[in-house]
Structure 1
Amino acid sequence: MRIIPSEISNSTRSQAERSVFAALKAIPDDESVALHTVHLPRHHRKRVGEIDFVVITPDILLFIEVKGGRVHQRGGKWYYGPPGREDGPKESPFAQASGGMHEFEREIGALVGNLRDRGVPSGYLVVTTDVDIPRMTEFEPQQYLGATAYDGGRGLAQGIERATRFWLAQNRWARTPVSVSMRKKMLEAIRPDFDRVPNLQSRLTHLDVAFERLTNEQLDRLDDLESNARLIWTGGAGTGKTFLAAEAARRKSAHGTVLFTCASTTLATHMSRILTDDTITVLPFDRLDEVQGRVFDQLIVDEAQDLMTLESLDTLEALVSGGLAEGRWIFMLDQNNQVLTPDTYDPDAWGYVRTLGLEYGPMKRNCRNTVQIVEEVRSYTGANLGVASAGEGEPVRFADVHDTQGEASLLDDYVNELVREGVSPRDITLLSVSGDWATSSARLSQRASKIERFTDVVGTDRTKHRLTWSSVPDFKGHENHVVCLIDLEPEHLEGRLDALYVAWTRARAQLWVALRPGTRPVLADLGVAVLTRKGRLK
């Protein structure tokens, strides 16, 4: 049986739930889907956590409540756990299952329509993996599976079949089998609630947790984790590769050691604050000598296009069990790199990797950038960023400047405008193409003394509402709501489309670009070159 998520979380301490998780996966049923409600890395609603498993079959929507260890009742009250450390009194597991079922039915009914009107039957099954509860009026035998019948998981399929027959007799209005389309609607309605994870930024602050909803495309990729040992996920900037890589690392950490690496030191620093499980090691590629001699069960390489050389692959080869040919790994790759920086991209290395893993891509939905930013990047570089799903935003703003001082003045005007509109300075990054603070226009800004260097604050809990300044390479893999591209000279665009691509795609909502003398004509020429390549100009 297919189960979502495909890997159980390290945070799931219940051995009983782990046992049922494994037993469900072992059931030879290609039509049914089970959802484990304890999602990586935390629940986003208490209600969801009260239902251990939801199983969608052609015959029924079944809710499974799991109890492990000692379960006993006295005086009409239920207690869980060993003597002296009992948890209770609480309601019975049958009352928990029934209450959760009815609440869940209301929730899903609001999304797909009343289940009874649509002929979808539902029911629940209580499983105690370690004890047998004696027969009592609290439940019917078909609603319960005790340790003897559960038999370490071997009896779960039979228990589900028996519960299904019982509940179908209670739901005489049911129209079974439930149509494939209806089951798909229920899954799509339920699934986002189970596959919502805190976004990367929210993990680094003490603000209220914000949640990002994984796209169906990303969910499909996570489902591939179990069935494919070696995966290559490709996609342009903003398609959620790093976000997806982090979630993959958390899921894989439940089954062994994970090495997460990338070329960028700042990105690795950022990720080390997010991936805190003891079984996950996060290091930038140039520090992999620190784990020389170790072998990891799983390798995840983010921004792999920056490491696509045979020499780099040799280094990675020695760090994963079974090597690249037989080991378990995921490479996250931006395919635009092949066009933008062909001199630093070894096609032989890429060809070798492609023979070893299952390639999926490019990912089609851009989750970061607005429509305006996506179109602007495409028009000047020809890069495919996917379909923008972040919505509409402000047009990209270009400011012609005559010198460094003039650039600083216009920059201050723009930042002041944003602040007046309620934008926090911490949501604004000044991205320097030159990467030299000593000559940057930011030094002449009225806010210069309160500008934080990104390399100094990345991976820390930022409490001050200040602008950040960064070079383009140091900000690769990162993002902010507003990006101001500064210190851009015409020569920076000659043969360096990758810098323009990386810089512009860092902005989530608004992009402001200062153009020094001679820069605008070079940009125009880039746009013409893109149109010519696409055959729109002769």
Structure 2
Amino acid sequence: MVPEPISPSTKSAAEVALYRGLKLLDAGWSVALHSLNLPEHSWKRVSEVDFVVIGPRGVYALEVKGGHIGCTNGVWTHRDRFGAERRRRESPFAQANDAMFVLQRRLEDIVGHQTMRHVPIGYAVVAPDCNLSSQVSVEWDEEMLIDRRQLDRPDGLQRGLGRLAAYWRAKPGARDRTLDESLINTIVQALRPTFDTVPTLRQIASAAEADLVALTTNQYRTLDAYARNPRTLVEGGAGTGKTMLAAELCRRAAAAGLRVLFTCRSQVVAGFVRHQAGMQAVQVAAIANLPETGAKLVDVIVVDEAQDIVNFTDLSRLEKLLVGGLADGSWHLFLDSNNQRGLVGSCDDEALSYLRSLRPTELVLRDNCRNTRQIVAATRRATGADTGVSSAGDGPQVTVVVDPDPTRQVAAVVAELDRLDENGIPATDITLLSPLPLQDSLFSRLPARWRSRIDVLDLSNLRRPSRGRVAFARVGDFKGLESRFVLLGDVDRAVPERTRSLYVGMTRARVGLWIVIGEQPGGSEIDL
């Protein structure tokens, strides 16, 4: 089932019921996709397929119509369980027919015409609340309908889909190929990225907003692994979407009726995640705020930036809260143990070895979805860290100003802020980062016209930044967060964590990165 579980925002009771029925099928079918968006239609701008079922016997689009269905003088009437009524001249069979042909064309474009040439593709209408099989029409054959009369039987859905497949495979055109596992996987991968999107963690967003992003193959694998494994260790560099995936995993676990805890070291990140869309049913707390209790309070624990809490002191706190404890309970840790450990909190190698002894599934995220190619390349040169392969495209070149004179450093910062302002970049898209507190950083010496516009990062201005204000944060406090444009300073003064501060600070930028330092950190060892 994709997605797994069904989205909690699904309003159709008929679709929810069919989802559950499909999930219980025990043979003959491999994958069911729910709510597949198609970017073309014979006369609408876009269209949607309620379900696509895929198996060795072919690919089939299912149009689901719950509630009352009627047709008078060519006008179809649909009335839901609340009494709301809609009328349309297009029949559900015509809708399903259009969806089938769009699906066929899209698969031929992506997978290849020759590959798809003999693959059976068809459609059916599923009416779980009505008995339509007593109605006869030239518009459909009985094999193209699965209604309540069939679904009331214990194996009704299995038999209905089998009859549907046999019907379409017998049609003229030699579309009777039996799909092997490899071809099924190819078709699923072609379809899935077009619809299974999850909310990102945008910095500039109100609590009600949800920016959607299509997941990469590696990110899909992470969510698929969660559905099959009680414990996972997910390694990924900055920009690979760990916080976004951790939040989505929480949503899915909560939608399945589990008690879920999301935790991390940062109070700001915890507060921000708490207000993301769909997180209302999830307990979110920084690890310092977890209750000191022996009661088993949660079924699943999800930890973001886990390299900050992989030590026996913090793990013992999680142990007390988790049903089954760490050894037998369900936990999922997202971490960057090579490049971000030690900046805040602590990561103990013995504690990490202990977690690995509990046989979690280990996954690695390699697609950098945040940083442009220029930022990825500059970070690799400066720190030696592998930040993955950028999928965010090209952006402006990274600018580095090296000047030992503090006055000229401040002048360079002012010139860059003025340039961004003149080019129409909103101040709320800009973040000033330093390993030092604001009062000790070079940004404290900005002229009043800019100094007065700085907001020190907290949850309130992170979620709802004030118009015309620029954010400031310490590098360690900004882990897990991001900004379109980052001005990074004082890294040469970050002793002894120069390289880690540089790595975290540089990788917070999504589009533009500008660095000012007094000297090359570490001398010739670090090449900016």
Aligned residues of 2:273 and 2:279 also touching (Cα < 8 A):
no
Aligned residues of 2:399 and 2:514 also touching (Cα < 8 A):
yes
Q: Distance in 2 between matches of 1:250 and 1:35?
A: 18
Q: Distance in 2 between matches of 1:153 and 1:277?
A: 36
Q: Distance in 1 between matches of 2:47 and 2:199?
A: 16
Identity across the alignment (%): 35
Moved more, 80-89 or 390-399: 80-89
Q: Distance in 2 between matches of 1:44 and 1:354?
A: 47
1:532 equivalent in structure 2: none
Q: Distance in 2 between matches of 1:422 and 1:477?
A: 27
Q: CA deviation at 1:230?
A: 1.3
Q: Distance in 1 between matches of 2:279 and 2:35?
A: 20
Aligned residues of 1:432 and 1:487 also touching (Cα < 8 A):
yes
**Partner SS, residue 8 of structure 2:** coil
1:487 equivalent in alignment to 2:476: no
1:17-96 map, 5 Å: 17-29=15-27, 32-37=30-35, 50-74=48-72, 76-81=74-79, 85-90=83-88, 91-96=90-95
Q: Distance in 2 between matches of 1:206 and 1:341?
A: 29
1:160 equivalent in alignment to 2:161: yes
Q: Distance in 1 between matches of 2:426 and 2:292?
A: 39
2:225 equivalent in structure 1: 224
**Partner SS, residue 51 of structure 1:** strand
User: What RMSD in Å do the two structures reach over aligned CA positions?
Assistant: 3.3
Moved more, 212-221 or 314-323: 314-323
Q: Distance in 1 between matches of 2:59 and 2:497?
A: 58
Evaluate the alpha carbon distance shift between residue 48 and residue 11 of structure 1 in structure 2; reply closer, same or farther with a 3 A threshold.
farther
Q: Distance in 1 between matches of 2:304 and 2:436?
A: 25
Moved more, 393-402 or 78-87: 78-87
**Partner SS, residue 235 of structure 2:** strand
Q: CA deviation at 1:506?
A: 1.0
Q: Distance in 2 between matches of 1:348 and 1:252?
A: 29
Q: CA deviation at 1:412?
A: 0.8
Q: Which residue, out of 462, 473, 477, partners 2:476? A: 473
Q: Which residue, out of 410, 415, 421, partners 2:412? A: 410
AA of the residue aligned to 1:268: A
Evaluate the alpha carbon distance shift between residue 162 and residue 44 of structure 1 in structure 2; reply closer, same or farther with a 3 A threshold.
closer
Q: Distance in 1 between matches of 2:21 and 2:431?
A: 49
Moved more, 75-84 or 219-228: 75-84
**Partner SS, residue 232 of structure 2:** strand
Q: Distance in 2 between matches of 1:480 and 1:75?
A: 57
1:288 equivalent in structure 2: 290
**Partner SS, residue 404 of structure 2:** coil
Q: Distance in 1 between matches of 2:505 and 2:7?
A: 35
1:209-248 map, 5 Å: 211-248=212-249
Q: Distance in 2 between matches of 1:148 and 1:326?
A: 44
Evaluate the alpha carbon distance shift between residue 278 and residue 295 of structure 1 in structure 2; reply closer, same or farther with a 3 A threshold.
same
Q: Distance in 2 between matches of 1:83 and 1:428?
A: 49
Evaluate the alpha carbon distance shift between residue 207 and residue 22 of structure 1 in structure 2; reply closer, same or farther with a 3 A threshold.
closer
Q: Distance in 1 between matches of 2:241 and 2:114?
A: 34
**Partner SS, residue 136 of structure 2:** coil
2:127 equivalent in structure 1: 128
1:452 equivalent in alignment to 2:455: yes
- Post-superposition Cα deviations, 1:440-463, rounded to whole Å, max 9, x if no partner, equal 434424411112222264442335
Q: CA deviation at 1:306?
A: 0.6
**Partner SS, residue 362 of structure 1:** strand
Segments of structure 2 that go 5 or more residues without pairing to the other structure are: none
Aligned residues of 1:235 and 1:333 also touching (Cα < 8 A):
yes
Aligned residues of 1:58 and 1:178 also touching (Cα < 8 A):
yes
Q: Which residue, out of 257, 260, 266, partners 1:258? A: 260
Q: Distance in 1 between matches of 2:80 and 2:191?
A: 34
Moved more, 404-413 or 161-170: 404-413
Evaluate the alpha carbon distance shift between residue 143 and residue 254 of structure 1 in structure 2; reply closer, same or farther with a 3 A threshold.
same
Q: CA deviation at 1:264?
A: 0.8
**Partner SS, residue 204 of structure 1:** coil
1:118-197 map, 5 Å: 118-133=117-132, 134-137=134-137, 138-151=139-152, 154-178=155-179, 183-197=184-198
Aligned residues of 2:262 and 2:283 also touching (Cα < 8 A):
yes
Evaluate the alpha carbon distance shift between residue 357 and residue 243 of structure 1 in structure 2; reply closer, same or farther with a 3 A threshold.
farther
Aligned residues of 2:28 and 2:55 also touching (Cα < 8 A):
no
1:286-365 map, 5 Å: 286-289=288-291, 293=295, 295-337=297-339, 344-365=346-367
Segments of structure 1 that go 5 or more residues without pairing to the other structure are: 529-538
**Partner SS, residue 5 of structure 2:** coil
Q: Distance in 2 between matches of 1:206 and 1:132?
A: 44
Which structure features the higher share of helix residues? 1
1:536 equivalent in structure 2: none
Q: How many residues are paired up?
A: 520
Q: Which residue, out of 449, 459, 464, partners 1:461? A: 464
Evaluate the alpha carbon distance shift between residue 228 and residue 47 of structure 1 in structure 2; reply closer, same or farther with a 3 A threshold.
farther
AA of the residue aligned to 1:158: R
Moved more, 436-445 or 315-324: 436-445
Moved more, 141-150 or 80-89: 80-89
